[in-house]
Structure 1
Amino acid sequence: MQFKVIENRNMTAQDDEKDVYFIRLTYEEPADYDAGDWLLVESQNRPDLVDFVLQLLGLSGDEMIEVRRVGERTVRDALRENYELTQLNPAILNRMQREYDLDQWADRDAMMAYADGRDIVDLLQAFPQLQSLGAEFCKMLSPLSPRYYSIASSQKSAAAQSYAGRMVDLVYKKIAYHKEGRDRLGVATYQLSDLKVGDVIEGDFCANKVFKLPEDLAHNKQPLIMVGAGTGIAPYIGFMEEIAYEHPQHFANTWLFFGETREQTCFLCQDQLQSWEAQGFHLLTAFSRDQAEKVYVQDLLWQHREDVWAQLEAGGIFYLCGDKTKMAKDVEQTMKRILVEVGKIEDPDLVWKEWRRARKVQSDVY
């Protein structure tokens, strides 16, 4: 389905190290979503990246290839619209090792470590023998998948109601960095950041069945503990908009632990959060670079461990959204420490596992 841009702005324009955007989209087709769901954004590879790959493969781009589940296409069109170029799938390395008698990686873990942070150009440059495959090389490439973004709005918000509920917000970080002599750009975030008001993109809604507000907030005082850093704030904005619309009395039982780098330039959604805070919402922030000793969300959780445990004992739900490689692991480790030292839990791993199964712990990490 199509989405039309009505707002797209850089929320961290004053920061020298990152570009985090807020984009508001409207749509005409009847479609519902819940706070916590995802928007899948269709994207295409950049023409300059496609040209570089064609050059390495010694192709003009006009050659024809058969794309699985699509049909016959020119190599150029296929590389632009059908194949993954900005990420390296470890499965490609496995196939290379099997078909070309390579002994480069000991196991899948080694392949995953090698693939992390590399793209298809890196692969072709590291293994020049692949360049001679020409169009045949494309058969090893993974399909270009849509990118998932946590929705940062509720259809029940005042803003959404002004568009008859057919409005959706996203908060996303533009991926752009320089490595080994080349600019590396996120296939979807770079495209999104370039959109102007009135532009149209393709996408679709996708339900996230394991990251939801409880259905019975109107009838209980079940605490909500939300933890997120950076763009991990996104689904909580949707949660808070829904609470503000339907259950404002629940602000007193809602906690947000939010982390970023600097308060002055990276306090995402600051006005919204502080307006809810004034209505009784518990907002705790950690800006890691605003003091000599860095403070992160897991440090905030530990500082407020007695309150956190009290909310969990009262039947609270613990939500976690953000980077899975470090932040999520550090938060989980801190929470298990709280279980042991404050809750006197003997086997925190078992309890945490049980809580996840019972959805007392819910995560949306990436």
Structure 2
Amino acid sequence: MQLKVMNSPFNQEQADILNGLLPTLSVGQKIWLSGYLAAGQSASVLEIQEVQKAGPKEITILYGSQTGNAHGLAKKFGKVLEENRYHVTILSMNDVKPNNMKKIQYLLIITSTHGEGEPPDNALSFHEFLHGKRAPRLDDLHFSVLSLGDSSYEFFCQTGKEFDVRLAELGGKRLYPRVDCDVDYDETAADWMEGVLLSLKEDDREYAVHTAAATAEAIDSAYSRTNPYKAEVLENINLNGRGSNKETRHVELSLEGSGLIYEPGDCVGIYPENNPVLVDRLIEELIWDPEDPVTVNKDGNVLSFREALLSYYEITVLTKQLVEKIAQLSANDHLRELLSPNNSVKLKEYLEGRDLLDFIRDYGSWGESAQEFVSVLRKIPARLYSISSSLLANPDEVHVTIGTVRYKAHGREREGVCSTFCADRVQPGDLLNVYIQHNENFKLPANPNTPIIMIGPGTGVAPFRAFMQEREELGAKGKSWLFFGEQHFVTDFLYQTEWQKLLNKGVLTKMDVAFSRDTEKKIYVQHRMLEHSKELFRWLEEGAAVYICGDEKNMARDVHSAFIEIIEREGGMSREEAEGYLTSMQQQKRYQRDVY
């Protein structure tokens, strides 16, 4: 909007300066400027009395979080709002009382999407309530949704989209439009926070306005996703025996001097590098010099084209969003045909298991420079791994257990980016960019006397090594029962000697194992659970907390079904009652999952 001298108190020189400045300001800068100008004006006594009478707004932040990202953002934005003198209530969606919904006037929802477009575990009951017949009219509600997701999945940010639509259907008014975040969410989340703040301030200009810099500081304090710590690798060991079909790395990292702390149940984020062989093959298909400079982020950091592909950009995953962006820069008619609505199934099949090298060989390159080529690529995301150590037992260290991924697809050998990075190219003494991802949804009971049941096949056993180390250090008296499964007893029994020592000491009360390839009929952890159904149900009735870690699509669902069958059979309940029993456990935080 241009200022005109005839309609404003500014002379021509002042108007020209403002006309040149305003279009260049970010949302955060406009927030600061509006607060600065408002603070310089004196309010009338009547205005001050009206503000005092109204009091600061009550803001409710609800989070749905599986790994802790949404919870972390909720806490950080809550801090920013409190610094702006708002009253803030932060709740897990599990803890929302349905009859309180009509009392909420300002609601901020921060949620991830789990699995195939499903709500995270701690959002299931709230999602079901809000989409059910008992959901109330919310005509007085002002809301905004921040949705976290991964664009490589078909149902990107689905849970956030559903909450956004449903709240509007119930009569709520959008305080600020929904924002959908990809895996590299920090800048997008900060923009949403600034936008929500600005919208709040339009209703209430008497409160001090926080600058965009302060918002960014709240997000990026100390070592974090956007400011990772360079941790020295202390050990990198293959846990599997010779002849195994698998390769599982036990990696120990030094946190000395970092100030980073963690609890059992938390995760480590590791930023990997792409395989140099794949990067060089990609460059061979392109026309640009590997030394061409490219700017890789908003801060203006410049890397060579090769280094950018090696350490900054994701090149191993194809998504529909990426292909759509490429199509805007490409003249390939076959690509446009692939993206036509009639070819949605064909597109989905094409994307599965292919990478950027496949795409370029099939549809050619795009852009007129290396800079334009990388402009559509997203930043390589960190990979999260469950921590397999206790800080009490291993001061200044953090351990992770990583299953190396290698497979063949579409005529080429493929590999997991981070797992093979750690397995093949990381040596003791090297430095890895890491951060701690806190996860409040996967924590040991506050009472150390509470019995715990742990189900973790394969690398899913990692957090339970941390649980047991922690309980040993604390002298916890609560019973513990571990179910572990893998392919072969001889080559794949991860941390076998450690479990044996814990059993001998009585720290670990019981352990049942299932090695699926050692028997004619495959036996998995859920089969071992069913074999011990009476005792398992007795532990549940004694108040035991259940923890499940590992593959979501198969293992976690099979284990969940096994629990329902056990409760139904041993508790003399209907299936509906058994499902309600588990739901109640979940609400009591006695049924927690870390699944992927």
TM-score calculated relative to the size of structure 2: 0.55
Q: How far does residue 137 in structure 1 lie from its aligned partner after superposition? A: 3.8
Residue 336 of structure 2 is matched in structure 1 by: 101
User: Measured at CA, do residues 134 and 258 of structure 1 come closer, stay the same or move farther in structure 2, by a change above 3 Å?
Assistant: farther
Residue 28 of structure 2 is matched in structure 1 by: none
Residue 83 of structure 1 is matched in structure 2 by: 313
How far apart, in 2, do the equivalents of 1:355 and 1:111 lie? 41
Q: How far does residue 107 in structure 1 lie from its aligned partner after superposition? A: 9.1
User: Measured at CA, do residues 315 and 60 of structure 1 come closer, stay the same or move farther in structure 2, by a change above 3 Å?
Assistant: same
Give RMSD over aligned pairs: 2.5
Deviations along 1:42-67, one digit per CA (max 9) or x if unpaired, are 21112221112222233222334343
Matched, 1:226 2:226: no
Matched, 1:9 2:237: yes
AA of the residue aligned to 2:354: R
AA of the residue aligned to 1:101: R
SS at match of 2:360: helix
Residue 259 of structure 1 is matched in structure 2 by: 485
User: Measured at CA, do residues 297 and 4 of structure 1 come closer, stay the same or move farther in structure 2, by a change above 3 Å?
Assistant: same
AA of the residue aligned to 1:125: R
1:150 to 375, 379, 386: 386
Residue 466 of structure 2 is matched in structure 1 by: 238
User: Measured at CA, do residues 355 and 121 of structure 1 come closer, stay the same or move farther in structure 2, by a change above 3 Å?
Assistant: farther
Residue 62 of structure 1 is matched in structure 2 by: 291
Matched-pair contact (CA < 8 Å) for 2:338–2:347: no
How far apart, in 1, do the equivalents of 2:376 and 2:565 lie? 45
User: Measured at CA, do residues 106 and 33 of structure 1 come closer, stay the same or move farther in structure 2, by a change above 3 Å?
Assistant: farther
User: Measured at CA, do residues 182 and 214 of structure 1 come closer, stay the same or move farther in structure 2, by a change above 3 Å?
Assistant: same
User: Measured at CA, do residues 236 and 114 of structure 1 come closer, stay the same or move farther in structure 2, by a change above 3 Å?
Assistant: farther
Residue 556 of structure 2 is matched in structure 1 by: 328
Residue 190 of structure 1 is matched in structure 2 by: 420
AA of the residue aligned to 2:234: I
User: Measured at CA, do residues 201 and 56 of structure 1 come closer, stay the same or move farther in structure 2, by a change above 3 Å?
Assistant: same
Q: How far does residue 114 in structure 1 lie from its aligned partner after superposition? A: 4.8
Q: How far does residue 144 in structure 1 lie from its aligned partner after superposition? A: 0.4
More moved, 321-330 vs 236-245: 321-330
Deviations along 1:247-295, one digit per CA (max 9) or x if unpaired, are 3422xx2111100000000000001111112233210000001110110
User: Measured at CA, do residues 287 and 79 of structure 1 come closer, stay the same or move farther in structure 2, by a change above 3 Å?
Assistant: same
Q: How far does residue 95 in structure 1 lie from its aligned partner after superposition? A: 4.2
More moved, 274-283 vs 93-102: 93-102
Q: How far does residue 305 in structure 1 lie from its aligned partner after superposition? A: 1.5
* Matches for 1:1-366 after TM superposition, within 5 Å: 1-28=229-256, 29-71=258-300, 72-95=302-325, 101-104=336-339, 114-126=350-362, 128-130=363-365, 135=370, 136-157=372-393, 160=394, 165-193=395-423, 194-217=425-448, 221-250=449-478, 253-280=479-506, 281-343=509-571, 344-347=573-576, 348-366=578-596
SS at match of 2:470: helix
How far apart, in 2, do the equivalents of 1:106 and 1:145 lie? 31
Q: How far does residue 353 in structure 1 lie from its aligned partner after superposition? A: 3.9
SS at match of 1:234: helix
Residue 119 of structure 2 is matched in structure 1 by: none
User: Measured at CA, do residues 342 and 121 of structure 1 come closer, stay the same or move farther in structure 2, by a change above 3 Å?
Assistant: farther
Deviations along 1:189-216, one digit per CA (max 9) or x if unpaired, are 2221233222222211111111110112
| Greater length-normalized contact order (CA 8 Å, ≥ 6 residues apart) | 1
TM-score calculated relative to the size of structure 1: 0.88
More moved, 321-330 vs 72-81: 72-81
Aligned residues, how many?
354
Deviations along 1:47-103, one digit per CA (max 9) or x if unpaired, are 221112222233222334343335343322221121111223343245457886344
Q: How far does residue 225 in structure 1 lie from its aligned partner after superposition? A: 0.8
SS at match of 1:101: helix
Matched-pair contact (CA < 8 Å) for 2:338–2:346: no
Question: Which runs of 5 or more residues in structure 1 are unaligned?
Answer: none
Deviations along 1:159-182, one digit per CA (max 9) or x if unpaired, are x1xxxx101111111222333343
